[in-house]
Amino acid sequence: MIRFLAGRTVQAASVLLLMSFVIYGLMGLMPGDPIDLMISADPKMTSEDAVRLRKLYGLDQPITERYANWLAAAVGGDLGYSRLYAKPVLDVLFPALGNTVRLLAISFLLSLAIALPMGILAAMRPYSRFDYSVNLAAFAGISVPSFWLALILIIVFSVTFNLLPAGGTGTLSEGGIWETARYLVLPVANLVIVSVGGHTRYTRAAMIEALRQDYIRTARAKGAGPARVVLKHALRNAMIPVVTIIALDFGMLFSGALITETIFASPGMGKLIFDAIMGSDFNLALVGLLFATTLTLVGNLLADIAYARLDPRISYR
Amino acid sequence: MTAAAPAPSPDPAEPVLRVAGLDVSFAIDGGSAKAVDGVGFQLTRGRTLALVGESGCGKSLTALAVLGLVPRPGRIGAGSVRYHGRELTSLDDRALRGIRGNAIAMVFQEPMTSLNPVYTVGDQIAEAYRLHFSASAREARAEAVSMLDHVGIADAQNRARAYPHQLSGGMRQRAMIAMALVCRPDVLIADEPTTALDVTIQGQILDLILAMQKENGMAVLFISHDLGVVSEVADDVAVMYAGTIVEQTPAASLFAAPRHPYTRGLIETLPGTTPPGGRLPAIPGVVPDFRRRPKGCRFSDRCSLADGHCRDASPPPAVSGGAVSCWKADAP
C-alpha cells in the first residue's frame, strides 16, 4: 500500500508537471502580455520602452525558455505576484481555496446524504411508485443547467421573498455562524440540486445490481433480515462502482463551482480563476488552475484508496 | 434471534418436512402461470431425497419456496410446507428468519457467486451462527473455525481469514457447507451443490455431504439434473417435469424399473445404458415454456405413448413414494 501510494504520488506529480506546461502554453496564447497592459495604462510609453521592458522581464524569449524560468522559480517557492490584487499569488489563493473547499465539502456531503438513502430505498423497490418519483426528481436535477437554476434561486429566494442574500459571503466576526450560513444556502442548494440526481442514479443502479447477486440469496437463506441484507451484504458491494464514479465526479463539481461562485459572487477559487483570466492576471490564473488540477488528482487518489478498502479483491502492491 | 435448535421429532419415521400441493405462481399478462404446480414430498431424518429434472422445471423454485424465498414477482399460490408439523407458509418473515439457516439450511450451486466477495469466509460463517445463537464475536469465530476444520479445510484458523476469491472452487463449496451446517440444521437443501465443480472435487463434496448427514442425521433434499450424481447420494428420487413431480420412488427401483416415460427417457440418455459405439438416445422436443404448457399431460407432446386421453386430461401428480403421474405408466 505504501509503495502504491508512493507510485501514485509520483504519477500525480508528473501529471501536474505536464498540466503546468499545458496551462502555461494556453496562457501564452492569450492575447496580450503584461507589457501591453502597461501600455494601455500609460499612453506616454513609447514602443522603445516596450521593447526594453520585454527584454528586461524576459518576455522576448521563446515560450519553452519562459516556462523553464517560471518552473525554476515556482519549484523554489516563488509563484509570483497577482497583478489584480498586488499581493503574492498564494496570499490571494489560500483564502479563496478555503471558501471553495467549504462550499464543495458541504455540497458534496449533503448530496451524498440525500443520494445514498434515496438510491438504496429506490433499489429495494424498483419500479415502484417511490422509485419512479425518485427517478423523476433525479432526472429533473440532472437536466437543469446550473447557471439557470442559480438565477431562478436568486429571483425566488432573494428578490421575490427576500429571504436569503443573493451573493457574497458573510464574516464570522460580523454575524456569527448563522449569518455565514445564510450566504451559503443558495450556492450549496444550487450545487446539491445539480449533483444529487446523478449520485442517486448511480447508487440505485449499483444497489439493484448488487441485490440481484447470488450472495444476497445466500444471506437471506441463512436468516438475515432485510436491513442486514441491504446494508451489510449489498451496500458494500454496491459502493465499489459508486465510489469510483463519484470521485471522478468530484472534478466536475469543481468546475460546477466556477459557475456557481461566479453567479453568487462567492469569493472562491472558481470566481478567482474567472476574474484572473478576464483580468489577464497570468500568475494567478496559472497557479489557480494548477490548484484545481491538484484537487482533482487528490480526489482520484482518495478514490483508489477507498476502492482498495472496500474490495479485498483489489490489492495494491 | 436465539431460537433453540429444534427438538428432533419423537418418532424417527415421522417426516421432518412435509410439502403438499405446493404451487408457485408468477403473474403474467393479467393472468398467472404456475412454475411449480401441486408439488408434494416428504423428507425423513437421515434420508436423502433427490429432486431431479431439467433446467427450468421448477426444482430450485421448490427449494426456495420451502424457505419462503421465492423471488419477486413469484409467490406461493397454494399448498403447505410443514416442518415438524408446523406450517411455514403462513409464518411472517421474522418467524421464517428464525427457521432459515437454523433449522433448514441451504447450499447453492455456484460457490464463487454465492459467497459475498467482500467478507472473509470466517466472517460469513460466524454471521450465520450469530444470527441464530447469542454468542460473542469471539465464540462465533471459534465456531466458524471449528466448522471449517470439520468440513475438511486444512489450516482452518488461517483459511477463515481468506476471502472467497482466495480459495479454490472445492474449498469455497466446503466453506458454503460449513456455513449451512454451523447451526446444526435438521434439514439441508443442496441445490446442485456439485454442478460447478470438477469431477474429482464433485466426489469429495458428495462424500462430505453424506458424511455430515451420517453424523447428525439430518434430512437432505438434493437437487440435481445429473442422474449419475443422484444415483450416488439418493435414498429416494422425485423426478420433476414442467413444474410437477411425475414420479417418486426409492432410488434403487427408479434405476431398475423406471415407470414414467420421461424417467425412462432420462435413464436411457445416460452413457452406459446404450451399447458401446451406439448413439445416445435423446428425448425429442424441448421442455415447454411454463406459460404455454400443453393441455392434459405436460409430457404428452414429447411422449411416444401419448394418445387422445393423455392430451385431454392431466394425470394426478405423484405426491408420495411409489407414485407415478402417467396414464400409461408401466405400458410396454
SS3 sequence, B53-74?
CCCCCCHHHHHHHHCCCCCCCC
Quote the minimal CA–CA distance from B258 to chain A in Å: 34
> How far from B132 is each of A128, B121, B228, CA to CA, in Å?
33, 18, 36
Res. B33: pLDDT tops 50? yes
pLDDT score for B9 = 46
For residues A260 and A187, the answer to whether their CB atoms sit within 8 Å is yes
Rounded Cα–Cα distance for residues B234 and B226 (Å): 12
Cβ <8 Å between A215 and B114: yes
Q: A229 to chain B: nearest residue by CA?
A: B116
Quote the minimal CA–CA distance from A251 to chain B in Å: 28
Cβ <8 Å between A219 and B163: no
**Amino acid in the structure at residue B42:** Q
Res. B119: pLDDT tops 60? yes
pLDDT score for A154 = 92
Cβ <8 Å between B100 and A220: yes
Query: How is chain A split into domains, by residue range?
Result: 2-81, 90-310
Rounded Cα–Cα distance for residues B314 and B296 (Å): 4
Rounded Cα–Cα distance for residues B174 and B176 (Å): 5
Q: Maximum Cα–Cα distance for chain B, whole Å? A: 67
**Residue spans of chain A under pLDDT 50:** none
Cβ <8 Å between A223 and B115: no
Question: Which range is most confident: A198-212, A268-282, B16-30, B72-86?
Answer: A198-212
Q: Using a CB-CB distance cutoff of 8 angstroms, which residues of chain A are in contact with residue B94?
A: 225
A227 touches chain B (CB under 8 A): no
Cβ <8 Å between B117 and A218: no
Average pLDDT (B217-223) is: 94
Q: Using a CB-CB distance cutoff of 8 angstroms, which residues of chain B are in contact with residue A226?
A: 93
A217 touches chain B (CB under 8 A): yes
The dihedral of CA B294, B299, B300, B301: what is its sign?
positive
Q: How confident is the model at residue B200 (pLDDT cuts 50, 70, 90)?
A: confident
pLDDT score for B332 = 55
B74 touches chain A (CB under 8 A): no
pLDDT score for B1 = 43
Radius of gyration of chain B (CA): 20
Res. B81: pLDDT tops 90? yes
Res. B160: pLDDT tops 90? yes
Res. B175: pLDDT tops 90? yes
Give residue B316's region: left, alpha or beta (phi > 0; psi -120 to 50).
Answer: beta
Res. B2: pLDDT tops 50? no
Rounded Cα–Cα distance for residues A311 and A316 (Å): 11
Q: For A164, which DSSP code?
A: S
Give every CB contact of residue A73 below 8 A, 6+ residues apart in sequence: A79, A80
Res. B5: pLDDT tops 60? no
Res. B3: pLDDT tops 60? no
> How far from A252 is each of A21, A34, B251, CA to CA, in Å?
22, 31, 65
For residues B164 and B172, the answer to whether their CB atoms sit within 8 Å is yes
> How far from A259 is each of A45, A150, A184, A254, B272, CA to CA, in Å?
38, 9, 15, 9, 76
In DSSP terms, A82 is beta-bridged to A87
A215 touches chain B (CB under 8 A): yes
> How far from B30 is each of A144, B288, B289, B299, CA to CA, in Å?
39, 20, 17, 26
How many C-beta neighbours within 10 Å does residue B27 have? 11
Grid cell of B240 as nine digits: 420433476
Res. B4: pLDDT tops 80? no
Q: What is the pLDDT of residues B247-299, one digit of tens each?
A: 898 888 888 888 888 888 888 877 766 677 777 778 877 777 777 777 788 88
pLDDT score for B10 = 52
Res. B330: pLDDT tops 70? no
Q: A218 to chain B: nearest residue by CA?
A: B114
CATH architecture label of A90-310: Orthogonal Bundle (1.10)
> How far from A152 is each of A77, A140, A198, A266, CA to CA, in Å?
43, 15, 21, 17
pLDDT score for B66 = 93
Grid cell of B206 as nine digits: 458428495
Q: Using a CB-CB distance cutoff of 8 angstroms, which residues of chain B are in contact with residue A241?
A: none
Rounded Cα–Cα distance for residues B109 and B153 (Å): 19
pLDDT score for A116 = 95
Cβ <8 Å between A218 and B115: yes
Q: How confident is the model at residue B133 (pLDDT cuts 50, 70, 90)?
A: very high
